[in-house]
Amino acid sequence: MDKRLFVLALGMFALGTDSFVVAGVLPKISESFQITPGLAGQLTTAYAIAYALLSPTIAALAASVPRKKLMLSGLAVFVLANLATAAAPTFFLALLTRVFAGLGAAMYAPTATGTGALIVAPEHRGKALTIIVAGLTAATALGSPMGTVIGGLGDWRWTMVFVSVIGLLAAIGIAVLLKQVPLPAKVSFRARIAPLSDARVGLTLATTLLAMAGNFVIYTYFSVVFDRVLTSTALFGALLVLWGSGGTVTNIVLSRLLDKFGPREVLLVMLSVLVVDMALVPWASAHLWSSVLAIAVWGIAGWGIMGPQQYRLVNIAPQIAPVVLGLNTAATYLGVTAAGVLGAAGLQVLGGHKLGFFSVLLFALAIVASELATRRIAGREAAAAAAA
């Protein structure tokens, strides 16, 4: 593998680990600051909302900044912000540092993805993008569990140091291995959000937001939902590995399923499986064997959402595929943001063990949004066929 792609993926691994690892050390953070788990979960919310809102903004405003300089600057902000989180004496300051970590991630992620496509031959761009995005998948399967174990064996603050070290290694790799990268064509902020006026795109993005919120309502408060079976740090880490590994299983089979059945059918099956699985979580989470089964199904189906969504968006707007895929990433992290807030409310209303019912509602709404998007897409195709 091209070493340059590896270091770009390593940076994405750091960003992804930072997104997911708070869930693994939530009890430690809650205890450290003497706050509720729901309030502690807002550390994920602050990072995710900064990441989501600033990514398209920075991509437009910093279009003329050299790619290498922008990525190194983003990773520098990211590393320093995570070290600041580790040193934060109060929850408010920790929350503030998470916003700056999200800023660093927003500077790095879209730039790294675009750079990966520019530094390889056109016929290898798909592979390059797959390798870079795989860094995020690996973060759920490896980064978050490793951070959880580090925090469990010591202090949660060492988990944030761990994330900073990964980001620093990625920055060193980019500084050494990556030469100057040609600037891509400039796309204005208005052009980046223009696809939102298309109902097909808007409804598809709404599906992503709702589905990701359904996933992360449970993931953000994993330690509360499954507290009846989490008897050790090692087991906690193993269950997180199980959930993240579902993405690997899904990626292996998803391309064939999409080509054979189409995105609408695959997405409908995945969301329907999630509705049933989350409805059973209040009971499944009481026993280890049933928790393992529920988490495995959740991981496979939950990670099966992004492929169909990306497939659908590229088919809707192939000429501006990077723009709509960027919007889909923003919708993903807005979903994570919503999950932190809604999950905190759900803890108060339903309690941790029944939080799965909240996910059921969100996944059901995602099905509705997806079916509405399907109707709009079919209507536009029928109109185009009639005009031809």
Please name which of 239, 232, 217, 228 lies closest in space to residue 41, comparing C-alpha atoms: 217
pLDDT in the model for residue 184: 66
Contact 355, 221 (CB under 8 A): yes
List of the chain residues with pLDDT < 50: none
Taking only the tens place, the pLDDT of each residue in 4-38 is 888 888 998 998 888 878 878 888 899 999 998 88
pLDDT of residue 89: 94
Task: Please tell me the predicted confidence (pLDDT) of residue 246.
Answer: 76
pLDDT at 252: 64
Return the pLDDT at 294: 96
Superfamily per CATH, domain 1-186: MFS general substrate transporter like domains (1.20.1250.20)
pTM comes to: 0.77
How many Å separate Cα 311 from the centre of its chain? 17
d(CA 15, CA 79): 10
Give dist(CA 108, CA 58) in Å, integer. 10
pLDDT confidence of residue 158: 93
For the chain, give the secondary structure using H, E and C: CCHHHHHHHHHHHHHHHHHHHHHHCHHHHHHHHCCCHHHHCHHHHHHHHHHHHHHHHHHHHCCCCCHHHHHHHHHHHHHHHHHHHHHCCCHHHHHHHHHHHHHHHHHHHHHHHHHHHHCCCHHHHHHHHHHHHHHHHHHHHHHHHHHHHHHHHCCHHHHHHHHHHHHHHHHHHHHHHCCCCCCCCCCCHHHHHHHHHCHHHHHHHHHHHHHHHHHHHHHHCHHHHCCCCCCCHHHHHHHHHHHHHHHHHHHHHHHHHHHHHCHHHHHHHHHHHHHHHHHHHHHHCCCHHHHHHHHHHHHHHHCCCHHHHHHHHHHHCHHHHHHHHHHHHHHHHHHHHHHHHHHHHHHHHCCHHHCHHHHHHHHHHHHHHHHHHHHHHHHHHHHHHHHC
Please, where in the chain does CATH 1.20.1250.20 lie? 1-186, 192-388
Q: Kindly report, residue by residue over 352-386, the tens digit of the pLDDT.
A: 899 999 999 999 999 999 999 999 888 887 777 77
Architecture per CATH, 192-388: Up-down Bundle (1.20)
